[in-house]
Amino acid sequence: MPISTKKATANAEVLELNDLSTQDEQADALIKRYALLGTATGLIPTFGLDVAAATAVQTKMINDLADVYGYDIDDQLIRTAITTGVAALGGRILSSIADMVAASFTPLKMLVGGATSAAISGFLTYEIGKIYQAQMQAGKNPSDIGVMEIVNHVAAEVQSGKWDPANFSVKKQLTNFMENPRQR
């Protein structure tokens, strides 16, 4: 291969890596922004409305991630919404269980319950974003992700101790959002 061809190939590979880095940075910023919105949906006190809001936020996040990675998932949005809806419902059920436990320990049930729901919703939104990002980074179709893949991933994250509810508190989310204007 001539030197100029080798150099052109090397330059193309560097540009491709830079594009991926930019894509990854854009995706990370989107995920963080939508995690904040997901945290906010956990503060909605009405069962059903909170699940619908979380589903809408997560579906929009996945659609935006697909745009970043060059996937057209418009024809798969209903399936994506069902998948994220089931995950959001599971998060709401976990929040309800946590609320019952909190009620037995504190008279501030609503405060603790709302904070717990917000943290769980933010965590689920973040992790769902990361699952879809990894799928698209690997060049795989994002519509291949199912509910069980999300459940298994989230369970592994919790079991490994990677989930710190403090990282998804409303205060922490807003602080991160205000300190990092590039991620808006």
pLDDT computed for residue 21 by the predictor: 74
pLDDT computed for residue 12 by the predictor: 47
Cα first-last separation, the chain = 45
> Which is nearest to 58 in space by CA: 148, 141, 137, 142?
142
pLDDT computed for residue 114 by the predictor: 64
C-alpha dihedral over 139, 143, 145, 147, to 10 degrees?
170
What's the predicted TM-score (pTM) here? 0.75
pLDDT computed for residue 117 by the predictor: 81
pLDDT computed for residue 154 by the predictor: 86
Angle at 170 between CA 157 and CA 148, to 5 degrees: 30
Residues 6+ apart with CB under 8 A from 98: 113, 116, 117, 120
3-state secondary structure of 1: coil
Q: Give pLDDT tens digits along the chain (184 positions).
A: 555 444 444 444 444 545 567 999 999 999 999 999 999 998 898 889 999 999 999 999 999 999 999 999 999 999 999 999 999 998 888 877 766 766 666 555 555 556 778 888 888 999 999 999 999 999 999 988 999 999 898 888 888 887 665 666 556 656 766 676 554 4
pLDDT computed for residue 7 by the predictor: 46
